[in-house]
Amino acid sequence: MFRRLRKTKWLSRPTEILWYQWIGGIGSMLMMGVIGMLIGMLSPFLAVITSPNPSLFLTMDEASWVASLSSPARLVGAIFGSIGIHYLGGKRAMLIAGCPLLLAWVCLILADSAKWLYGTSFAHGLGIGIAFVSFPVYLGEVSSSATRGALVSFAVSGFPLGSLIGNILGTYLPKTTFGYIALAPTIVYIAIFLCVPESPHYFVRMGKLDEAERSISRYHPKVVVKEELEFLQTFTSESNSVTVGDRLRELTTPRNRKAGMMIMLLYFFMHFSGLNSVIYYMEIILKTSKVTAISPATVVIVANVLDSVGGWVSMSLVDRYGRKPMWITSSCGACVSMALTGVNFTLLANGYNSYGQQWVPIVCMISFRVFLFIGLIPMPSIFLSELIAPNLKSLTACLGNVFAGLVAFASTKSYQPLLDAFGEACVFYMYAVIMFLAFIFGFILPETKGKTLHEIQNM
């Protein structure tokens, strides 16, 4: 949003100057990594505890609840996150997210029944809800126009990296040991956010102008602080809405309603792409596909390695080529991957099962996940940090993540019943159709590359 940042020479080397922006990005990335660790661990863990004779056995129905309970908890977390952003600021809201994440690891360490694992999933969902509300708002407020997309994508890239670590450690370590190890990055990310300052937007909203000046000087050391403070005061006070009722009424104005609907659709397409089904059940999907050439657990680990590559590709390209091309490429690739997975299950259902056919589900599962992290996963958070007016960000982030929690729960919990009712092929064909619609939707998305938050609001 800082208008003169785009014209300064030092912006071409942001990592050399903008230390606090990138420290905040690293903390956000670690937070997303912690979230990804449990999700990555669940794929091999659910495959083990639903197989015969494990020390802790769960039925497929109980396993589906473990996989999906985090989604309704995310709704509750989104509400707490929105309240935290409004009254405490984005940085402190991210600190609060650390509490349920720590609780999730404690529940996992103590788990000796399905109920403890339900508690793990629910606490994890609370952390997800708070985190996904707070980190786009925080990074959107502290970053400059040239680094905003990269910072948000960098934060999101922590998710596949955490999933990779969760897959590897979850495959070879007992859950108790895994839980103790996972406590370490959680504590580190909390320590980082105890050290960085709150965003200048928050201090201006609270009327704490001295703190706002100090925050500006840390996050944007090359700007004229007094001038930027005046500009930020004008930008933040453009709306007079104060109460929740005022903000709800302002949310229904045409431009805000349009931006809000775009955020909702982005979350819908992200979760109904098959994201949760593939992440939670990938090893089981590969076993059902009769993959024997490579161990399904190994394929999951390879997929997580390449997920991280997709996240880094997104971080490198999103501010260079723009948001629309990344979304269009991502949804097109995901559509093809899901369609070919459906074709593979159709062939299996008709008795065609050659050894050479095994490359189809392996390549499709891996490519699907890579394409997700190129565009479908980071874009909702990037647009949430950019499209929404400053006085409406906490409310819109809350509503968006409540909606995301609902669709994530519906997508994850419906996966097994849909398989039982229609079979694997129809389910993956459905995901392919949804991704085709996401591809079409990409052409009507606004392009915000290189624009300040003020310029985006004036579009």
In a domain, 79, yes or no: yes
In a domain, 315, yes or no: yes
pTM for the full predicted model: 0.72
| Local confidence pLDDT in tens for the 459 residues of the chain | 444 333 333 333 443 457 888 888 899 999 999 998 988 888 778 777 777 766 777 777 787 788 778 878 888 888 888 888 888 888 999 899 999 999 999 999 998 888 898 999 899 999 998 998 888 888 888 887 777 777 888 888 888 888 888 888 888 888 889 999 999 999 999 999 998 888 888 888 888 888 888 888 888 877 777 877 877 777 666 554 555 566 667 777 777 788 888 888 998 999 889 888 887 788 888 888 888 888 887 887 888 788 778 777 777 777 788 888 999 999 999 999 999 999 999 998 888 877 778 888 999 999 998 898 888 888 888 888 778 776 677 778 778 878 887 888 788 778 888 888 888 899 999 999 999 999 999 998 888 777 766 677 676
- Cβ(219)–Cβ(21) below 8 Å: yes
- pLDDT of amino acid 189: 92
In a domain, 436, yes or no: yes
How far is the CA of 406 from the CAs of 73, 80, 403, 414, 415, in angstroms?
Answer: 10, 16, 5, 12, 14
In a domain, 300, yes or no: yes
The helix or strand, by DSSP H or E, that contains position 110, with its residue range, turns out to be helix 90-110
What single string gives the DSSP state of each residue in 320-382?
HH-HHHHHHHHHHHHHHHHHHHHHHHHHHHTT---GGGGHHHHHHHHHHHHHIIIIITHHHHH
- Burial state string for 41-70 with b = 16 or more CB within 10 A and e = fewer than 16: bbbbbbbbbbeeeeeeebeeebbbbbbbbb
Q: How many domains does the chain have?
A: 1
The HSE-up count of residue 332 (CA atoms within 13 Å, CB side) is 9
In a domain, 233, yes or no: no
In a domain, 221, yes or no: no
Q: Which domain holds residue 173?
A: 3-196+238-458
Return the CATH number at 273: 1.20.1250.20
For the chain, how many residues are written?
A: 459
Give the C-alpha separation, 424 to 277, whole Å.
Answer: 11
In a domain, 350, yes or no: yes
In a domain, 219, yes or no: no
CB atoms within 10 A of CB 118: 17
Residue closest to 274 by CA, chosen among 197, 186, 183, 345 = 345
Give the C-alpha separation, 261 to 279, whole Å.
Answer: 26
